[in-house]
Structures are given as structure tokens and as C-alpha cells.
Structure 1
Amino acid sequence: MADALEKLTAGGWHHAVLWVLADNSHARGFYERGGWAPDGEARDEFIGPALVHQVRYARSLQKAFNR
């Protein structure tokens, strides 16, 4: 994840978002430890035949990678 965030920052991006399955507490904890936080957006989408609830996480790229 650190490599991807550095590349986004080097590309001029200042903010990043990602979607995670709402029920996946392991993944949510991973992202939260990495500085991501839910931003209040949610959606329901099909993954194959299953309808899943997702929440959007966001984080600033400027804080962590300014040198």
C-alpha cells in the first residue's frame, strides 16, 4: 500500500479513495491502521451473484508523503 500511495503522490494526486466490503472487519482494520477513514459514502453492488454492501474510505496523500 505504501508504494501505491507514494506513486499516487508522485503523480500529483492529493487525495485517494477506495471501496471495501462493509462486513470485512479485517480489511477495514488494515486500512484504518494505514490512515484511511470511512467518508460516509456507501453503495450496494453485485459481485457475481451476491449483492454486497460497501463503504468508501478516503485519506489525504499530502500529510503522509510530503518530504
Structure 2
Amino acid sequence: KILHLLKMASGIITQEKFDDCYTGIVGSALDIPVLIDAAGCTETLKSGTTVKLDATKGIVSSSTLESSLNREE
């Protein structure tokens, strides 16, 4: 079932490390941009949140994420 969902994804963000991350491995095999080891992503980004992902640079942006980061400064 997860493979079907991954095929619909435009990108994957996970806080797991690549060696332990089935989702990241499959995403890479499907040529889906994958950002791994993104500490705190599940606390900051809620399911269904629209984000902009630059997996090459390791950048995720959204209004939710920017608000969270501004509170931490």
C-alpha cells in the first residue's frame, strides 16, 4: 500500500537516516526527490501541509515551517 502512495508523491521528507529508511530508498528508485535526516520535520510539518522542497540543497519551505523557525530565533 505504501508503494502506491509513494508513486503519487512529488517529494519525500523524512527524519530517518537513509540506511534505515525504506521510504527514502524507494523514493530514490522512483526518481522522487527525497530529503532524509530532516530532524524535527514530523513535529513541524503536519500531514497535508503543502511545502516547497529542494532536496539537492536540503531546503524545505512553507508558511508553517517559517513561522516555527521565527519563534525559535
When normalised by structure 1's length, the TM-score is 0.31
Bigger share in helix: 2
Higher relative contact order (CA 8 A, sep 6+): 1
Bigger share in strand: 1
Who wins on radius of gyration, i.e. which is larger? 1
When normalised by structure 2's length, the TM-score is 0.30
